[in-house]
């Protein structure tokens, strides 16, 4: 009897560990396998290249994670990236100095925040499902980006502005440092502050959250403003890296962001998720994309593989919820 109980406890603990850190293990195994298969995959240069690529859609994924934890979604983030990019580029084109660079980044985040404010208002006060609200914003933001840029790339070749995308501190790309700072800040917000507790409460049971005194509407408003601001920041980062704003930027990034969140264990039913595991999900996508590119896999097959991984992650989440 005692042996049986001990075995049962061990199985439970192993299951809990796998549920909690399974995706981290998959990331390590995936990276190890690709390092053995591809020469130079584990080099510092390649690792920083992966981190740099992940940093931009990874920042969006953090904002999307907050939205999904409330039981919502944000489909507009990729289009907001495009809008923020052309706004930021329009501000810095033909200028010099870090003053205008800071202003351009601030303007990009402000534009993203306005988009998020509209999403949050429609969702929280208009009682429109977030899927529909953010789908509408996705179309609108992409259209406004086309109007602002006349459908063409906008030059952003200001030395100060582009130095953000090109520079490194102690060998670490500036974009990666920004990503880390955003991730740490948002992790503290989600895990240590009352705002984070309210986000989880809404996702767990919105009626119970109301009874407990959570201002659901204001919290949802803050969540979507945050998601929009982070998408705006990603747009400015991408513009500084590409030397131009473009109304086509961020195409399908919202799906990569959702995939990163879901692969990282964020439940589409709401109430479950974390910033660190969202980062793990983004890194899995980044490592997979880089590995498949270096192996010469057809881009169409890459999309199919990514879709299969997303479906697998959602099925895994459904099984977890059934057991719970």
Per-residue pLDDT of the chain (324 residues; tens, 9 = 90+): 455 545 554 555 666 666 667 788 889 999 999 999 999 899 989 999 999 999 999 999 999 999 999 999 999 999 999 999 999 999 998 777 788 999 999 999 999 999 999 999 999 999 999 999 999 999 999 999 999 999 899 998 888 898 998 888 988 999 999 999 999 999 999 999 999 999 999 999 999 999 999 999 999 999 999 999 999 999 999 999 999 999 999 988 998 999 999 988 888 888 989 999 999 999 999 999 999 999 988 888 888 887 887 787 777 766 766 665
What is the pLDDT, as a whole number, of residue 88? 94
Write the CA distances from 100 to 73, 93, 160, 242, 256, integer angstroms.
Answer: 33, 10, 9, 18, 31
Q: Which residues pair with 7 in a beta bridge?
A: none
pLDDT on residue 187: 97
Q: What is the per-residue DSSP string for 158-216?
A: -HHHHHHHH-EETTEEHHHHHHHHHHHHHHHHHHHSHHHHHHHHHHH-HHHHHHTT--H
Give the side-chain half-sphere CA count within 13 A for 319: 8
Q: Token digits for 299?
A: 């881009």
At residue 112, the pLDDT reads 97
Q: What's the pLDDT at 26?
A: 86
Q: What is the pLDDT of residue 15?
A: 65
168: β partners = 173
164 contacts 240 by C-beta, under 8 angstroms: yes
pTM: 0.91
CB 232 within 8 A of CB 112: yes
If 0-12 CB within 10 Å is exposed, 13-18 middle and 19+ buried, where does residue 294 land?
middle
Tell me the domains of the chain and their CATH numbers: 43-323 (1.10.3470)
Polymer length in residues for the chain: 324
**Which of 218-249 are b and which e, b meaning 16 or more Cβ less than 10 Å from the residue's Cβ?**
ebbbbbbbbbbbbbbbbbbbbbbbbbbbbbeb
- So what's the pLDDT on residue 5? 47
């Amino acid at each position: 009897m005692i042996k049986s109980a001990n075995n049962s406890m061990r199985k439970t603990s192993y299951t809990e560990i796998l549920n909690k850190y399974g995706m981290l293990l998959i990331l390590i195994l995936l990276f190890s396998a690709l390092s053995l298969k591809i020469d130079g995959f584990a080099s510092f240069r390649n690792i920083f290249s992966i981190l740099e690529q992940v940093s931009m859609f990874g920042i969006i994924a953090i904002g999307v994670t907050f939205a999904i934890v409330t039981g919502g979604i944000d489909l507009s983030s990729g289009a907001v990236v495009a809008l923020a990019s052309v706004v930021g580029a329009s501000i810095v084109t033909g200028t010099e100095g870090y003053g205008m660079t800071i202003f351009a980044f601030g303007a990009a985040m402000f534009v993203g925040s306005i988009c998020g404010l509209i999403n949050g208002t429609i969702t929280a006060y208009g009682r429109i499902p977030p899927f529909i609200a953010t789908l509408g914003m996705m179309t609108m933001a992409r259209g406004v980006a086309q109007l602002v840029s006349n459908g063409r790339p906008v030059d952003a070749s200001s030395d100060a502005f582009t130095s953000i995308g090109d520079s490194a501190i102690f060998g670490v790309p500036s974009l990666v440092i920004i990503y880390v700072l955003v991730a740490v800040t948002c992790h503290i917000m989600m895990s240590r502050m009352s705002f984070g507790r309210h986000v989880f409460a809404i996702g767990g049971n919105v009626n119970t959250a109301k009874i407990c005194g959570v201002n659901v509407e204001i919290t949802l408003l803050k969540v979507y403003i945050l998601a929009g601001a982070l998408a705006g920041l990603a747009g400015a980062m991408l513009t500084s890296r590409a030397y131009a704003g473009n109304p086509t930027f961020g195409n399908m990034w919202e799906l990569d962001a959702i995939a990163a969140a879901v692969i990282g264990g964020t439940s589409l039913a709401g109430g479950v998720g974390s910033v660190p595991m969202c980062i793990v999900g983004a890194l899995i996508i980044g490592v997979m994309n880089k590995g498949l590119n270096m192996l010469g896999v057809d881009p169409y097959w890459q999309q199919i593989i990514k879709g299969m991984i997303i479906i697998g992650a959602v099925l895994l989440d459904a099984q977890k919820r059934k057991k719970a």
